[in-house]
Amino acid sequence: MDPITNSDTLVLQLDSKKSSIIIGRGIFASLSSLITYKKWDVIIAIVSETVYALHKEVIDQSLSLIDAIIIQYNDSEQNKSYAYAEQYFNLLLENQCTRNSLVIGIGGGVTTDFAGYVASAYMRGIDVVYVPTTLLAMVDASIGGKVAVNIKAGKNIVGHFHQPDYIIIDIDFLQTLPLSEWRCGMSEVVKHALIGDSSTLTLLMNKEIQYGYIDNSLYSCINSSVRFKASVVEKDEFEKNIRAILNFGHTVGHAIESLLEYTVSHGDAVAAGILIESYISMKEGMPKADFDCVRDIISAYNLLPNISFDPNKIVNHMMYDKKNIKGKTRFVLLESIGKPRIGCEVNDSLVKEALNFYLTMIKK
Catalytic residue among 25, 191, 192, 243: 243
Catalytic residue among 77, 181, 188, 277: 188
Catalytic residue among 155, 266, 317, 323: 266
Catalytic residue among 229, 317, 323, 330: 229
- 188 carries an active-site annotation: yes
Catalytic residue among 250, 317, 323, 330: 250
In three state form, how does the secondary structure of the chain look? CCCCCCCEEEEEECCCCEEEEEEECCCHHHHHHHCCCCCCCCEEEEEEHHHHHHHHHHHHHHHHCCCCEEEEECCCHHHCEHHHHHHHHHHHHHCCCCCCCEEEEEECHHHHHHHHHHHHHHHHCCEEEEEECCHHHHHHHCCCCEEEEEECCEEEEEEEECCCCEEEEEHHHHHHCCHHHHHHHHHHHHHHHHHCCHHHHHHHHCCCCCCCCCCHHHHHHHHHHHHHHHHHHHHCCCCCCHHHHHHCCHHHHHHHHHHCCCCCCHHHHHHHHHHHHHHHHHHCCCCHHHHHHHHHHHHHCCCCCCCCCCHHHHHHHHHHCCCCECCECEEEEEEECCEEEEEEECCHHHHHHHHHHHHHHHHC
Q: Are 278 and 303 in contact (CB under 8 A)?
A: no
| Pair type for strands 166-170 and 102-107 | unpaired
Catalytic residue among 247, 277, 317, 330: 247
- 124 carries an active-site annotation: yes
- 254 carries an active-site annotation: yes
Residue 161: partners with Cβ closer than 8 Å, 6 or more residues away? 16, 145, 146, 147, 237, 238
- 146 carries an active-site annotation: yes
- 49 carries an active-site annotation: no
- 208 carries an active-site annotation: no
- 160 carries an active-site annotation: no
Catalytic residue among 183, 191, 254, 330: 254
Nearest to 101 by CA among 43, 152, 143, 188: 43
- 192 carries an active-site annotation: no
- 347 carries an active-site annotation: no
Catalytic residue among 77, 181, 239, 277: 239
Distance between CA atoms of residues 148 and 160, nearest Å: 6
Distance between CA atoms of residues 342 and 325, nearest Å: 13
Catalytic residue among 55, 80, 146, 317: 146
Look up residue 27 and give its amino acid. I
- 17 carries an active-site annotation: no
Q: Which residues are catalytic?
A: 124, 146, 188, 229, 239, 243, 247, 250, 254, 266
